[in-house]
Structure 1
Amino acid sequence: MTVHIGAPQTALAVTSPWANSSIILPPLGNLDAYISAVNRLPMLSLAEEQEYARKLKNNNDLEAAGKLVLSHLRLVVSVSRKYLGYGLPHGDLIQEGNIGLMKAVKRFDPDQGVRLVSYALHWIKAEIHEYILKNWRMVKVATTKAQRKLFFNLRSMKQGFKDGADAATHRNTLTEGQIDVMARELNVKREEVIEMEQRMSGGDVLLDPSPSDDGEDAFGPIAYLSDATHEPTALLESRQRDVLASDGITAALQELDPRARRIVEERWLKVNDDGSGGMTLHDLAAEYGVSAERIRQIEAAAMKKMKKVLATYA
Structure 2
Amino acid sequence: MAHSVALPVITGGDSIESYVQRVNAVPMLTHEQEVDLATRYAHENDLEAAGQLVLSHLRVVVSIARGYAGYGLPQADLIQEGNIGLMKAVKRFEPTRGVRLYSFAVHWIKAEIHEYILRNWRLVRIATTKAQRKLFFNLRSMKAGFAALTHAQAKEIADDLGVKPEEVLEMETRMSGQDVALMADDSDDDGYAPIDWLADSDNEPTQQLERRAYDTLQSDGILHALDSLDPRSRRIIEARWLGDDGSTTLHELAAEFNVSAERIRQIEAKALQKMKVALEPADA
Conserved? CA contact 2:82–2:109, under 8 Å: yes
Q: Does 2:181 match 1:178?
A: no
Question: What do you get for the CA RMSD once the two structures are aligned?
Answer: 3.2
Question: What CA distance in whole angstroms lies between the structure 2 residues aligned with 1:138 and 1:100?
Answer: 24
1:42 aligned partner, one-letter code:
P
Question: What secondary structure, in the 3-state scheme, does the structure 2 residue paired with 1:3 have?
Answer: coil
| CA distance 1:6–1:175, shift in 2 (3 Å) | same
* Cα separation, 2, equivalents of 1:129 and 1:151: 9
Structure 2: distance between partners of 1:40 and 1:33: 11
Count of residue pairs brought into register by the alignment:
177
Change (3 A) 1:134 1:203: closer
Q: 2:9 aligned with 1:6, yes or no? A: yes
Cα pair distance change 1:137/1:115, threshold 3 Å: same
TM-score under structure 1 length normalisation:
0.48
Spell out, residue by residue over 1:81-140, the C-alpha distance to the aligned partner (whole angstroms, 9 max, x if none).
122222111111111111221222122211122111112112212221222222121657
The change in CA–CA distance for 1:158 and 1:57 in structure 2 (over 3 A counts) is closer
| Counterpart in the other structure of 1:30 | 15
User: Are residues 4 and 65 of structure 1, via their aligned partners in 2, closer, same or farther at CA, if it must alter by over 3 Å?
Assistant: closer
Deviations 1:135-171 (A, max 9, x none): 12165778xx67x9458627833543335xxxxxx4x
Residue 123 (structure 1) aligns with:
108
Is 1:188 matched up with 2:164?
A: yes
Distance 1:193 1:136, change over 3 A: closer
Rounded Cα–Cα distance in structure 2 between residues aligned with 1:90 and 1:155? 17
Q: Distance in 2 between matches of 1:201 and 1:181?
A: 19
Deviation at 1:80, TM superposition (A): 0.9
C-alpha displacement of 1:76: 0.7
Aligned 1:224-263 pairs, distance under 5 A = none
Distance 1:173 1:102 in 2: 40
Distance 1:194 1:202 in 2: 12
Report the counterpart of residue 87 of structure 1 in structure 2: 72
The whole-number CA distance in structure 1 between the counterparts of 2:163 and 2:43 is 49
Q: Contact 1:108–1:119 at 8 Å: present in 2 too? A: yes
Q: Deviations over 1:1-21 (max 9, x none)?
A: 44142145x24xxxxxxxxxx
Residue aligning to 1:99: 84
Residue 114 of structure 1, aligned match among 82, 85, 99: 99
Contact 1:76 1:97 in 2 (8 A): yes
Match of 2:208 in 1: none
Distance 2:87 2:169 in 1: 43
Query: Whole-Å Cα distance in 2 between the matches of residues 59 and 195 of structure 1?
Result: 51
User: Are the counterparts in 2 of residues 154 and 182 from structure 1 also a CA contact under 8 Å?
Assistant: no
Indicate if the aligned counterparts of 2:84 and 2:109 stay in contact, CA closer than 8 A: yes
Structure 2 distance, partners of 1:108, 1:141, is 32
Residue in 2 that maps onto 1:287:
none
2:23 corresponds to which letter in structure 1? V
2:135 aligned residue: 153
- The separation in 2 between residues aligned to 1:40 and 1:30, in whole angstroms, is 16
What amino acid sits opposite 1:173 in the alignment?
A: A
TM-score (norm 2): 0.52
Q: Separation in 1 of the partners of 2:24 and 2:100? A: 19
Indicate if the aligned counterparts of 2:119 and 2:125 stay in contact, CA closer than 8 A.
no
Please state how far the C-alpha of 1:63 moved relative to its aligned partner.
Answer: 2.0
After superposition, the Cα gap between the structure-2 partners of 1:177 and 1:100, relative to the gap in structure 1 and judged at 3 Å, is closer
Indicate yes or no: 2:40 matched with 1:55: yes
Q: 1:217-296, aligned counterparts within 5 Å?
A: none
> Per the alignment, do residues 107 and 162 of structure 1 end up closer, same or farther by CA in structure 2, a change over 3 Å counting?
same
List runs of 5+ in structure 1 lacking aligned partners. 12-28, 164-169, 206-314
Q: Distance in 2 between matches of 1:75 and 1:110?
A: 18
Q: Kindly tell me: are residues 51 and 92 of structure 1, through their superposed partners in 2, closer, same or farther at Cα, counting changes over 3 Å?
A: same
CA shift digits 1:183-208 (9 cap, x unpaired): 55555356x65566556555348xxx
